[in-house]
Amino acid sequence: MRMVVVLTCVVSVSAWAADPSVKEIAQKARERGGLNWSSLKAELKVVTTAGDGRVKEQQLVTSSRNVAGKTRTVSRFISPVGVAGVAVLVVEGGPGVADDISLYLPKLKRVRKVAPTERGKSFMDTDFSYADLGGSGAKDDDFSKTGDEKVDGRDTWVIEGKPGDASPYGQVKLWVDKATFVPLRAEYQDKDGKLLKRYHTLSLKAFKGRTLAASMQMENVQTHSKTVLTVLSLDDSALGDDAFTEQALERG
């Protein structure tokens, strides 16, 4: 299950049962999860504020496409100069299989796989980890619905469970919007059961019949740092299937 959800289509709750199962909720959240800009191109501003107050700003472009039945997402940094050209490819792994993550570093001029043991590491010095970019192979049956709560005035289902062996998190709790299936909040515990991070969708925006998170924040409660992602622009993607490969990462 992808934990960070930044894009979703508008889905009427009436299209589902009055009380959908955890599997149905998880499926809808997963389909619209991660940096999953299906058939879209988005430019994002990433602002990270460290615990000591230092601020760092980066920008990246991300696109997503369904290739041979699996979601593929490519994200490339465009600024500042020190990180421009760094790119990451996430390929959906399927039920019970963790997503495949590949990282391209222009200074080394090569692509390398992000190993499962590295997925708890910070992604590009932000409060998002590699684990937040893709699914960990968790099964929907590993999650349970624990209640209904309001978040920012919106009705949500609360689901929680273990995210899978490939995840650095021991437990994850999600508040999923009933109207759009966008997770509005999430809490992540470390393997010792201590609260590690909080995610919060700060604002929603409609785009061509879809509802997306226009801005979102990940806060590390242990280091007191936070990262805010803001959508700067959004358009239809013109990329073909061949753009979502490791070879394409090297071509730039």
Classify residue 124: in a domain, yes or no.
yes
How confident is the model at residue 105, as a pLDDT?
Answer: 94
Tell me the two tokens of residue 58: 């980066």
Task: Look up residue 26 and give its amino acid.
Answer: A
- Give the chain's domain count: 1
Classify residue 106: in a domain, yes or no.
yes
How confident is the model at residue 163, as a pLDDT?
Answer: 82
How confident is the model at residue 159, as a pLDDT?
Answer: 92
| Positive or negative torsion for Cα 3, 159, 216, 242 | positive
Residues 6+ apart with CB under 8 A from 151: 175, 177, 184, 185
How confident is the model at residue 141, as a pLDDT?
Answer: 67
How confident is the model at residue 1, as a pLDDT?
Answer: 36
How confident is the model at residue 237, as a pLDDT?
Answer: 86
Classify residue 194: in a domain, yes or no.
yes
Question: d(Cα 105, Cα 87) in Å, to the nearest integer?
Answer: 7
How confident is the model at residue 30, as a pLDDT?
Answer: 63
Q: Are 146 and 159 in contact (CB under 8 A)?
A: yes
Classify residue 239: in a domain, yes or no.
yes
Give me Rg for the CA atoms of the chain: 17
Task: Provide the CATH number for the domain around residue 102.
Answer: 2.50.20.10
How confident is the model at residue 96, as a pLDDT?
Answer: 72
Classify residue 1: in a domain, yes or no.
no
Is the full-model pTM beyond 0.75?
A: yes
Q: Are 198 and 18 in contact (CB under 8 A)?
A: no
Classify residue 221: in a domain, yes or no.
yes
Classify residue 193: in a domain, yes or no.
yes
Give the pLDDT of the chain (252 residues) as one tens digit per residue.
333 333 322 222 333 345 788 878 877 776 554 444 678 889 999 999 999 999 999 999 999 888 888 888 999 999 999 999 999 999 988 767 788 999 999 999 999 999 988 989 999 999 999 988 877 666 666 789 999 999 999 999 999 998 877 788 999 999 999 988 888 999 999 999 999 999 999 998 888 877 888 899 999 999 999 999 999 998 888 888 998 999 999 887
HSE toward the beta carbon, residue 212, CA cutoff 13 A: 25
How confident is the model at residue 79, as a pLDDT?
Answer: 97
For residue 213, what are the domain limits?
7-251
Classify residue 2: in a domain, yes or no.
no
